[in-house]
Amino acid sequence: MIFDLDIIRELISALFLFMGSFLCISGGVGILRFPDFYTRMHAVGVTDTLAAAMILIGLMLQNPDGLVVIKLSLILLMTLFINPTASHALAKAAFHNGLMPLIEKNKKNNSLPDKKQESEKG
């Protein structure tokens, strides 16, 4: 019975880790491929926290004993607090300082570097 529980735990943990890794990579691709700051921010801000949470939960399941789980949940808690705050502050600062999002009408004057980069990547 205990043996079975261990296998199930391992399986769930692996599932969480897999999802976390997938989210990680999608965020990474997003930050590289998206055309302007705000879309990149979107890619990272959304996936980053969730990916971190997934992986950390996966790790907790790996080793469910005292101190390690506490520390992991501490990290999780902090990630949950800090990441959205940082993203929020960053987006706000960027907007406040006049970085315009890339929308059709100001594509011409704002996104020169991005477009060039896109074409170079080709």
Report yes or no: 59 and 72 within 8 Å, Cβ to Cβ: yes
Q: State which of residues 46, 94, 101, 102 lies at the interface with other proteins (CB under 8 A).
A: 94
Instruction: Check residue 74 for interaction with other proteins (CB under 8 A).
Output: yes
Locate 51 and state its tokens: 């990916």
> x/- binding map, residues 17-46, to other proteins, per CB under 8 A?
xx-xxx-xx-xxx-xx----x--xx--x--
Sign of CA dihedral 94, 100, 96, 91: negative
Using the rule CB under 8 A, is 101 a contact of other proteins? no
Among 63, 64, 103, 118, binds other proteins (CB under 8 A): 63
In our burial notation (b when 16+ CB lie closer than 10 A, e otherwise), range 97-112 reads: eeebebeeeeeeebbe
Residue 49 contacts residue 75 (beta carbons within 8 Å):
no
- Does 105 engage in binding with other proteins (CB under 8 A)? no
Taking CB under 8 A as the criterion, the residue among 64, 68, 103, 118 binding other proteins is 68
Q: Does 61 bind other proteins (CB under 8 A)?
A: no
